[in-house]
Amino acid sequence: MDHITALLRDAPVPGAVALAVNRDGTLFETAAGVRDLSGDAPMTTDTIVWIASMTKAIVSVAAMQLVEQGRLQLDAPVAAVVPALAAPLVLDGFDAGGAPVLRPARTVMTLRHLLTHTAGYGYYFWNPDLNRTGLPRIPASFEEVTRTPLLFDPGTRWTYGINTDILGLAVEAASGQTLDACLRDQVLGPLGMHDTAFLLTPGQRARLARMHRRGGDGILRPIDWPVGEGQGFTGGGGGLCGTARDYGRFLRMLLNGGIFDGTRLLRAETVAEMGRNQIGDLLVHTLVSAAPKLSNDANLFPGMAQKWGLGFLLNTEQGPHGRSANSMAWAGLGNCYYWIDPARGLAGCLLTQVLPFADAPALALFGAVERAVYAMAEPAL
């Protein structure tokens, strides 16, 4: 672990926490650096960060629990539980005056589409056309989401976007609870993830790391980035804050086929299905930045065909740092990353608070941490 701590300490990020687990427990948990470059509070293993889109995996598990219970159906119309989504509109270009041209979707949106990012929703910071519509960049209310246009007909392409925010609406409708209550009762509570929440307590906020932005000059500067203040409308796509230790419990549950310390959250066959290609011949593409202060161009496996499961990115070949083909993974906007390798029984995460996303030094650190995990693990059988 000293080697990994040194990697974190020497990396050009303000602070970082790294954790790895196998099916039996934690392999290591370590931290280095500071929570805020304007102060001297150290980054510690109980530091809380905004995990952003790492929220999506947790919401996807809650949705699949409801599928197992028969309260949601993967291939039924989303409008069956969220009637306001019965007639989504697709952005079909712009007229001579620059106004968006909208048409009715030609296919029916399903829960599977939302889980696989094939429903048609995008993010404005990776799609310039969404910037041109004049509509809210990130929907802040239920009414606004019904006005958010799709970029294509559901099921016809893959594009990363607010799909899991919409999935959160379906979870609320099917469970009869707010999303934060459902996650607390069905996922976070049973796993003992007591430091993971939309709304942080004063004690938790005292352990919160600050967000930083790397400028074009390469210098990191602290910025104001309000998080942990409540669920908000976009809670399902990226509203949670938490610790590496908490997320490690979630990763172990998935490594163990849906069970954690004797508590079963999902059936083993459900977890296996979440890790299988669900988009057929479609491919995950590079996320091309339309907002350089938020994200660089992002592709976690350049040159490799990539697929999407029910909530997770899937690499179709062995990764360059050790993970097996068909591992499950994703990330959070503030340069937080995780992976789950069922074939080797290993999983891990790296948490930082740096913008823009796909920061080259943060990605290099994540790769180094991953290589260290596989170097300390037993050889593959």
The residue to which tokens 């943060």 are assigned: 362
C-beta neighbour count of 189 within 10 angstroms: 12
Tokens 């294509």: give the residue: 152
Is 53 catalytic? The answer is: yes
Tell me the backbone φ, ψ of residue 293, rounded to 5 degrees.
-75, -20
337 tagged catalytic: no
**Residue 306 CB partners (closer than 8 Å, separation 6+):** 283, 284, 300, 313, 314, 315, 316
Q: Which of 19, 22, 18, 17 is nearest to 252 (CA)?
A: 22
Tell me which DSSP letter residue 99 carries. Answer: P
**What is the C-alpha separation between 128 and 282, in angstroms, rounded?**
22
Neighbours of 371 (CB within 10 A): 15
Of the residues 53, 60, 175, 327, which is catalytic? 53
Q: Which of 123, 124, 160, 338 is catalytic?
A: 160
Amino acid at 148: T
Please return the burial class of 96, using the count of CB atoms within 10 Å of its CB with bins 0-12, 13-18 and 19+.
Answer: exposed
Residue 261 main-chain phi, psi, to 5 deg: 45, 45
User: In this structure, are residues 370 and 348 in contact, taking their beta carbons and an 8 Å threshold?
Assistant: yes
Cβ neighbours of residue 316 under 8 Å, at least 6 residues apart?
Answer: 304, 305, 306, 307, 325, 326
Q: Determine whether 307 is an active site residue.
A: no
Contacts of 268 (CB under 8 A, 6+ apart): 257, 258, 259
What are the catalytic residues? 53, 56, 160
